[in-house]
A and B are shown apart, each in its own frame.
Chain A
């Protein structure tokens, strides 16, 4: 923060659901004071307990402030009911972080809607979400996967942090509270890392546009990792730590097509250090467009901190079998398929199958391998392309009043009325 960019970025962190609200409360207490925080929930009770200043209660009419009871559809409905409030909360922001714990009703339902609205409001939308622990049950896992798919379609970038991976970071004796604190810390790290990257004035600057070029329009699955090291061999250590990070597991880095690296070191940061770090990362991510930044801060004397955002283009939607019904379980693309149905069955005119009903079937079961694969953030298909995430109002084939003789001539429009249409029709006078 030693120097602030000329145009101050307005960043908003929005926590959705209980996990999101807790996480941003946690962040708000730490040093992330330059951003505005907003907690959203469908339950008034959780909001009342939340420590953040700004709060938004969603779906008051629908649920009377009692929460969704784990139903993402209710969450979605609540978000759509309060779409104006959501719009207002996203206005004028350059960057919107959506922090949520997927799996429950509110976060899973609201986050995709919010992401879409924030994006329409012109913000870059980064979602940092957690996936539930395995012990939370299969249904929550499925819901979380479905929510993740929708979020990927709507947000510019989604950084996914499966809780299950946390088990590798903690030892067996860690208390539940601590575990969740660690999870919240990690979410906070993510937000902080990106924020630092953007606001810290560097020697080699990484700015907002760089982040945009990595994320925007890719509907990318992004992964995020940060590591710090100190001492003599900090350059080597930090890369090791970074690559060992559970968040970069599953070839996230090797398959990435854009990587943003930000180094922060003390005044003693040497060229050799930078070289060493970048060499390693470049070797790992050989096919990626690597954007790097380096900054020097006094408080990092003797330390080196590396923040990395790896982003991978989502596979094209054409890989999703079209004819596949929503209930097909054998293929891994099923959650993607059902998400497609859910969002698009009004719009996909030429789809050969007809959606069974407006009722959204529960997400199909996944094979354990597939779940792992998804958790690692690399589905072979399913994320939808940018086009399909936009809502198009198609024209309904209603019978319109034929202009008869005036079909081919210029319409006579007078004070906004087309005078070629018979008067009695325009005035709505019935001929009985």
Chain B
């Protein structure tokens, strides 16, 4: 396989930065990151593009940087999408088994999945992902592959992620305007979870929270499958905005204060402490109360977690996440955010690590890159699938022969 065709690129258009991750799929299907490019994002609010021209420029910068670093030409990307319009829900499809001996065939499985996908969405919405969960045969739960089993009725649970068609089109149009193809769009939260979680963690159950500037995405895995996804159009920008409003400082200064002095927990020891606001000219003219700063931040972050917890509670999902919470995105850098998450969810919380990737390790082990890396990883899966399909005829022939040979050898 040529080098160009084995390159997969993930592009995450975020609210504060745009990140392009170039990876290479090796022979065994693993992903090797070879380049990362990033640029400050200026035309995005709450995960959605508000200025296409600026965004196009920023995307170009990020892609060019990744190209230079990886020394490849980027022709197509896997594009991450997010925004408050994206929703996830579970649906179940039914199918009666018609064959005389009640054996479930491949056709039955395809039919039941097709039935499950027949969802009544608002006309302006489009499905982003359909993730297959478990099959049920005659009410028996937790079946991964029912082909070859016997039963009268087969059901399947799927998780559907959908969003507003026009708003999904916007980032695609921006990327296409740069003469870069979009291989597929991927929900950013799902991509982050791909980057952070190992199969074992998915099996045990985990909650991934990707807290960006504009949006907070969350994905719940349990029993190895996606149980729940969601987006809150609230993020780090809101924290800055709250600070700017509450401390009566300009937004840029609030942003700076958040990075320098912010924390997710109000520590009793900081009571009464103040931070002098330095000035380029002359002595500091003003100071802000550190406790106020922390309290404003704490309330906002706590609320975000509480909203997620409230979303997950009805399905009882919090009891199934034995691996706890994994945080990524820029929000994961806030000091003590994991103890806040532990408090709200009652689960162990930790910073997500992009373990399952090889490559530029030190550069990549940062929470902000989780989505980009996950997108590249999603691309590598697709790449592998496509390669299999592509080579199916030749390979199929080959495998049949080898099968025979081996058989013959055995015999």
Binding site for B on A (CB under 8 A): 401-406, 408-410, 412, 414, 419-420, 422-425, 427, 429, 431
Minimum CB–CB distance for B95 against chain A, Å = 36
Are A410 and B241 touching (Cβ within 8 A)? no
Are B232 and A422 touching (Cβ within 8 A)? no
Are A405 and B233 touching (Cβ within 8 A)? no
Are B246 and A412 touching (Cβ within 8 A)? no
List the one stretch of B147-155, B175-183, B256-264, B291-299 in contact with chain A: B291-299
In the complex, A403→B251 CA distance in Å?
12
Binding site for A on B (CB under 8 A): 45-46, 48, 50, 84, 232-234, 237-238, 240-242, 244-246, 251, 289, 292, 295-296, 299-300, 302-303, 307
**Apart from the given pairs A419-B238, A431-B289, 11 other A-B contacts in the complex at a CB distance below 8 Å:** A405-B237, A405-B241, A406-B241, A409-B48, A410-B84, A412-B233, A422-B300, A423-B299, A425-B245, A429-B295, A431-B295
Question: In this complex, what residue of B is CB-closest to A405?
Answer: B241
Contacts of A431 in B (CB 8 A): 246, 289, 292, 295-296
A419 with B299: in contact, given A410-B46, A424-B242, A431-B246 (CB under 8 Å)?
no
Are B299 and A424 touching (Cβ within 8 A)? yes
What are 17 contact pairs spanning A and B, CB under 8 A?
A404-B241, A404-B251, A405-B237, A405-B241, A406-B45, A406-B237, A406-B238, A410-B84, A412-B84, A412-B232, A419-B234, A422-B296, A422-B299, A423-B242, A424-B296, A424-B299, A431-B246
Are A409 and B50 touching (Cβ within 8 A)? yes
Top-5 shortest CB links A-B: A422-B242, A412-B233, A423-B299, A409-B45, A404-B241
A427 with B238: in contact, given A404-B245, A406-B45 (CB under 8 Å)?
no
In the complex, A281→B310 CA distance in Å?
75
Contacts of B296 in A (CB 8 A): 422-424, 431
Are B233 and A422 touching (Cβ within 8 A)? no
Are A420 and B50 touching (Cβ within 8 A)? no
What number of A-B contacts does a CB cutoff of 8 Å give?
69
Minimum CB–CB distance for B123 against chain A, Å = 20
Are B251 and A412 touching (Cβ within 8 A)? no
In the complex, A419→B231 CA distance in Å?
13
Contacts of B251 in A (CB 8 A): 404-405
Contacts of B292 in A (CB 8 A): 431
A408 with B295: in contact, given A419-B232, A422-B241, A423-B242 (CB under 8 Å)?
no
Selected from B46, B244, B299, the residue in CB contact (under 8 A) with A429 is B299
Selected from B46, B299, B300, B307, the residue in CB contact (under 8 A) with A406 is B46
In the complex, A423→B289 CA distance in Å?
18
Contacts of B244 in A (CB 8 A): 404
Contacts of A401 in B (CB 8 A): 245
Minimum CB–CB distance for B203 against chain A, Å = 31
Are A408 and B50 touching (Cβ within 8 A)? yes
Are B307 and A414 touching (Cβ within 8 A)? yes
Minimum CB–CB distance for A152 against chain B, Å = 50
Question: In this complex, what residue of A is CB-closest to B242?
Answer: A422
In the complex, A409→B84 CA distance in Å?
11
Contacts of B246 in A (CB 8 A): 422, 424-425, 431
Minimum CB–CB distance for A409 against chain B, Å = 4
In the complex, A240→B289 CA distance in Å?
90
In the complex, A211→B241 CA distance in Å?
60
Contacts of B241 in A (CB 8 A): 403-406, 420, 422
Contacts of B50 in A (CB 8 A): 408-409
Contacts of A409 in B (CB 8 A): 45-46, 48, 50
In the complex, A402→B289 CA distance in Å?
21
Minimum CB–CB distance for A301 against chain B, Å = 69
In the complex, A423→B304 CA distance in Å?
10
Minimum CB–CB distance for B183 against chain A, Å = 29
Question: In this complex, what residue of B is CB-closest to A420?
Answer: B238
Are A424 and B295 touching (Cβ within 8 A)? yes
Are A402 and B234 touching (Cβ within 8 A)? no
In the complex, A424→B292 CA distance in Å?
10
Minimum CB–CB distance for B211 against chain A, Å = 14
Minimum CB–CB distance for B399 against chain A, Å = 52
